[in-house]
Structures are given as C-alpha cells and as structure tokens.
Structure 1
Amino acid sequence: MFFGILFTILWASGAVSVKFGLLSAPPLIMGTIRFLLAGSLLLVYIYLFRKGKYRMPQKHEWKPLILLGLFNTSLYLGCGFWALKTVSSGFFNLAVVVNPFLVAILSSIFMNRFIQKKEWIGMLVSAIGLVIATYPLLQDGHSTLSGIILLLIGMISMAIGSVYFQKQKLQLPSLVINAWQVLFGGIILIIPSMLLELDEPVVFDMNLVLYLVWSVLGVSIFAMILWFYLLKQDAVKANIWLFLTPIAGYLLASILLGEKITIYDAIASLFVFTGLYLSGNLRLNKLPKPPLEKKVEA
C-alpha cells in the first residue's frame, strides 16, 4: 500500500511540478531538457546498471520507437506542458485519466474493436463530468479554451500512440520502450522549441534546477520504475492507484499552488470515476482484460 500511495503522489505531482517549471522556462524548451535528461538516464540505468538484462532494439524496431516518441512524448507531453500555461493542474490530472476512452474509439476505427454498450455509457458519464469541471474554469479565467484544446490534442496524440503501440506488438520490455520513446521525444522537440520559443527567456535558477531534479528523477524515472513494480505485484491494484492520481492531483495543486477545490471539481470527479467504473476501465475486484495501453508515459 505504501508504494501505491507513493506512486500516486509522485505521478500526480507531475503536472504540479510543470507549473513551477514554467516560472523559469517556456514549456517546450523545459520539456526538451527534461525528456533528454530522463531518456538518457533511463538508458544508462538499463544498459549499464542492468547490463545484460535488456537487449538493444533491432533494426525494424527503431521506426516504431521514434513514432512512439513523437506521439507519446513530443505531442502528448509537449501539448500538455503548453496547455498547463493556462489550464489548472487539477483539471489536467482529471482529464488525462479518461484517455482510455479515446483509445477505445480509435481502436474501433483502426483495429475493428467493438465498443460495448457499457463503454459508451461510461464515456457519456465521464464526458459530462469533464464538462462540469470545464465550465467554471472558463468562467473564472483559471483556464482558457486554447489551453483545453491543446490538452485535447495531446490526449488524442497519446491515444494514437497507444493504438499504434498495440498494432506494432514490439517484443521489448515496457521500460526499454519508455526510455527510448522519451529520448526520441526530446530529440524531436529540439527544433520546434527553438523555432517557437527562441526569443523567450530561460532563467537557470534554483526553481528550474529543482523542477528538473524532481520531474526527471522523481516522476520520469523513479515513479516509472515503481509503476512497473506495482504491475508485477498486482495489475488490478496498480491501475486503481493510477486512477487515483486526479484526487492526489487536486490536493497537491491546492496545497502547493493555491488552486481552489470547488464543488464542481468534486461532482466532476464523481462523474468521471463513475464513468470509468461503468465502462470497465476501473476494476476493483477482478482481473482486467488485456489493456490497450500497457505503459505509463514519462
């Protein structure tokens, strides 16, 4: 239970830490630095400290790894970081947890996956929850429509990456896939960050250093390793801890950023979790079906 709670807090802190990082650097440059550091350190851990346990990708596996880096890191997290300039971190954590619904819709289009009636009901209930959460944020100026659209683009990209991952059936451990996709995602972001943010100031202060240390070591590396440990222990409980990140996210945002937790947030969260449960994405007492999305993004 301790490791589950620790993972939930660490993973929920990701969006909150980005808010602090944005005080010192623009989102794409900040993300590029983080992904290059995290990917490099993960690969050092995999191929140096765990030497001999993991193989290098084969020739035909490089293209899928690069595309996964594009969809799951460059676009998803790049758009997500950009969105967090104008979207509350609490809403970010709540919105991302419904991504399995986007995966289901895209899978029905590209993989002929049948969407069950209970899944449609779950999607509708969760969508109502997100509308409830979005309305007051737009009204009081805590979020902007452009930020929410950026977040949606990022979520769609992550869903595309998840479906692509399922179709490719890479014969590599999830930890290795994540490490390479994070590194490639950072490399891909170098040019966009230079073109779009070259004139924006980057302050190399203690705030930026602390953000990078926390986000790279705490979130991208330690939390990811912890996630794979939890999956090995009990996949059902592991996914429950993952779905609890919005609650931890709201609490951390309230404590560290001063974001208010409103009645709208509580009602919206209730709708979202109810939708996840009705759809079968959130299982409390039985083994889940093989998930479309087997990994957590760094």
Structure 2
Amino acid sequence: MSPKDLLLALVVIVAWGLNFVVIKIGLQGVPPMLLGALRFTLAALPAVFFIKRPNVPWQWLLAYGTTISLGQFSFLFSAMYVGMPAGLASLVLQAQAFFTLLLAVMFLGERFRPQNLIGLIIAAGGLIFIGMESGGNLSVLGFVLTLCAAAMWGMGNIVTKRIGQADMLGLVVWGSLIPPVPFYLLSYWLEGPERMISALQGISLPSILTVVYLAFIATLLGYGLWSRLLSRYPASQVAPFSLLVPIVGIASAAVFLDEQLTPFQLIGALLVMAGLAVNVFGGRLFTSRQRVLS
C-alpha cells in the first residue's frame, strides 16, 4: 500500500473511531431517533444530486438502507443514549464481523473456517466479560442494544454481498435516502413532537457540528475513502485496518469523556480484539502451518 493510501486508511480509522465520542456529545442535545434522521438527511441531500445512483434495484437499496443505516444506528444511538459508554460501543459493535459470518452461513451457504470458529469463541468470551460488568458505567440495556446494532450491521453486510459489485459511495449516498422518513416517524412516536420541536429550536452549536461530522466525515468521507481503498487493494489487505477503530474509540473516549474500563471490561476488550485478529489473520496462519506440515 502506498504511503498516500496508508494515510487515507488512517484518516478513515480516526474518523470512525472518533465517531462514537461525537455521537455521545450529540445525544446530549438531540434525542437518538431525531439525531439519526438529521444525520441521514444531511448525508443524502444534496449529495444525491451530484453522485450517480448505483446500478442496484430499488428493493436492494431499500434493504441496504433499512439494515445498515436505519437498523444499525437506531439501536446504536439508543444504546448510547441509555448509557452505553462510547469506547465500549466502538468495541462491541465490532461483533458485526461474527454476525456477518453466522448470517452468511445461514443465508449464503458459506462455511465456517477454523479461524472463524476460534475467533468467534474468543470474542464471545470477551463479550461475556464485558456484559458481566453491567451496572456502574454500563447498562444491560445499552449492551444488548449495541449487540442488536452489530446484528443489523451484519445483516447489511449480507445485503451488500447479495448486491455484488457496486459503487460503494453511490450505495451509501442513495441508501441514505431510505432512513430519514422512518427515523422522523420513530422520533415522533417515541420522543414526541414537543421534544422534536424543542430540540430543533434550541439546537446548539455542538449538536450542529455533531450532525455535520456524522453526515460528512463519518458517512460520506469515511465510506468514500474506504471504498477507494477496497477498489485498489485486496479486501484482505484493507480489512485489518478496521481492528484499529475500537482502539481509537476507547482511547478518544478516555481522553474526551474520561471513560475508564474496569478490569473485567479490559479483559473483555482484549479478548474481543484477539478474536477479531484471529478471524482476520487466522487464515494465513493455518495456511502457513499446513505448508510447513506438508
């Protein structure tokens, strides 16, 4: 990977890692469903007028926007609103990799490889350690909702696999047309019209900057650069960079929000990261071992 593209990869990782701190700050002034509505409204408009619609049937755009955008972020924003720490959210959300594996086995007929199963078991143990520390800085509801967000991300990944080759930035932009109306309806139903109006009328500068960051930096810039890297390099070379997102997320939450991991949470975090690493790099280790044995 060229130095320029390596720098772009690091930009994406920092943008996505800081994303969780930004969400936490934004939720202080805007309720979760309304924040989701504003994020995807700004991500879709006016970008759809400048970015060509991908060659994808509308039903698949609907499925993509419903899962990876509406589903994932309605659960994630709600989780962080009810107390899920930003740093742990960035980590637990990476369980999407294993939900993707499970769903691919169920719906795409894919098979588990040894490194997938071992990584899943290790990461599941880490999630158990994290879940055992409910109370204090972690609510059970927030933890469960974050896992639901990871599951929706995994479903979105399956939809993306079924879509096949498509312009990723175009898919993200046009897929962002799907979530705003359901988000506004959910906000009206769950948060109430009075709260919606009050939040919009009294919106603060930090809340405005949050929406701008989520729409332009985390969504358009992040996915745009990520798709560029995937188009230039094998997925196996790009994917490992995602392991750095929780590290940035946990570190930035400690710096900006003064979040600290308990000993159990730290053990769980290390196990989850180890499980993810085995899932990403394990195939190379198994291949190398087979070559040595043969």
| TM-score, structure 1 as length reference | 0.84
8 Å CA contact 1:106–1:160 kept in 2: the answer is yes
Q: Does 1:135 align with 2:129?
A: no
8 Å CA contact 1:236–1:284 kept in 2: the answer is no
2:78 to 78, 82, 89: 82
Match of residue 144 from structure 1: 139
The one-letter amino acid of 2:172's match is: N
Paired with 1:76 and 1:250, the residues of 2 have a C-alpha distance of 20
How many Å apart are 1:270 and its aligned residue? 2.3
Paired with 1:217 and 1:112, the residues of 2 have a C-alpha distance of 36
RMSD between superposed Cα atoms in Å: 2.2
How many Å apart are 1:33 and its aligned residue? 0.7
Count of residue pairs the alignment pairs up: 273
How many Å apart are 1:116 and its aligned residue? 2.3
Paired with 2:237 and 2:252, the residues of 1 have a C-alpha distance of 22
The one-letter amino acid of 1:166's match is: K
8 Å CA contact 1:35–1:183 kept in 2: the answer is yes
Uncovered stretches (5+) of structure 2, i.e. residues with no partner: 1-5, 286-294
The one-letter amino acid of 2:57's match is: E
Paired with 2:33 and 2:247, the residues of 1 have a C-alpha distance of 27
2:97 to 97, 100, 103: 100
Paired-residue identity, %: 22
8 Å CA contact 2:65–2:179 kept in 1: the answer is yes
8 Å CA contact 2:91–2:269 kept in 1: the answer is yes
Match of residue 173 from structure 2: 179
Q: Does 1:153 align with 2:148?
A: yes
How many Å apart are 1:2 and its aligned residue? 2.6
Match of residue 166 from structure 1: 161
CA deviation profile, 1:222-267 (whole Å, cap 9, x unmatched): 2222212332443444322221100000111011111114444443
Moved more, 101-110 or 23-32: 101-110
8 Å CA contact 2:168–2:224 kept in 1: the answer is no
Moved more, 26-35 or 108-117: 108-117
Tell me: CA distance 1:240–1:117, structure 2 relative to 1, closer, same or farther (3 Å). closer
Give secondary structure in 1 for the equivalent of 2:177. helix
Please give the residue correspondences for 1:163-242 in structure 2 after superposition, counting only pairs within 5 Å.
163-169=158-164, 171-198=165-192, 199-200=194-195, 201-202=198-199, 203-234=202-233, 235-242=235-242
How many Å apart are 1:57 and its aligned residue? 5.0
Paired with 2:117 and 2:284, the residues of 1 have a C-alpha distance of 22
Paired with 2:50 and 2:262, the residues of 1 have a C-alpha distance of 42
The one-letter amino acid of 2:102's match is: I
Paired with 1:262 and 1:247, the residues of 2 have a C-alpha distance of 16
How many Å apart are 1:36 and its aligned residue? 0.8
Paired with 1:282 and 1:28, the residues of 2 have a C-alpha distance of 37
Give secondary structure in 2 for the equivalent of 1:84. helix
Match of residue 296 from structure 1: none
The one-letter amino acid of 2:277's match is: Y
Q: After the TM superposition, list the runs of 4 or more consecutive aligned residues in structure 1 that deviate by more than 4 angstroms.
A: 282-286
Match of residue 289 from structure 2: none
8 Å CA contact 2:131–2:140 kept in 1: the answer is no
Tell me: CA distance 1:284–1:237, structure 2 relative to 1, closer, same or farther (3 Å). farther
The one-letter amino acid of 2:78's match is: W
Tell me: CA distance 1:134–1:192, structure 2 relative to 1, closer, same or farther (3 Å). same
Match of residue 9 from structure 2: 4
Moved more, 96-105 or 192-201: 192-201
Moved more, 226-235 or 23-32: 226-235
| TM-score, structure 2 as length reference | 0.85
How many Å apart are 1:217 and its aligned residue? 1.9
Tell me: CA distance 1:100–1:148, structure 2 relative to 1, closer, same or farther (3 Å). same
Tell me: CA distance 1:284–1:10, structure 2 relative to 1, closer, same or farther (3 Å). farther
Tell me: CA distance 1:89–1:104, structure 2 relative to 1, closer, same or farther (3 Å). same
The one-letter amino acid of 1:25's match is: V
Paired with 2:171 and 2:102, the residues of 1 have a C-alpha distance of 24
Please give the residue correspondences for 1:20-99 in structure 2 after superposition, counting only pairs within 5 Å.
20-46=25-51, 54=52, 56=53, 61-85=57-81, 86-99=83-96
Paired with 2:11 and 2:116, the residues of 1 have a C-alpha distance of 30
8 Å CA contact 1:95–1:130 kept in 2: the answer is yes
Paired with 1:284 and 1:227, the residues of 2 have a C-alpha distance of 23
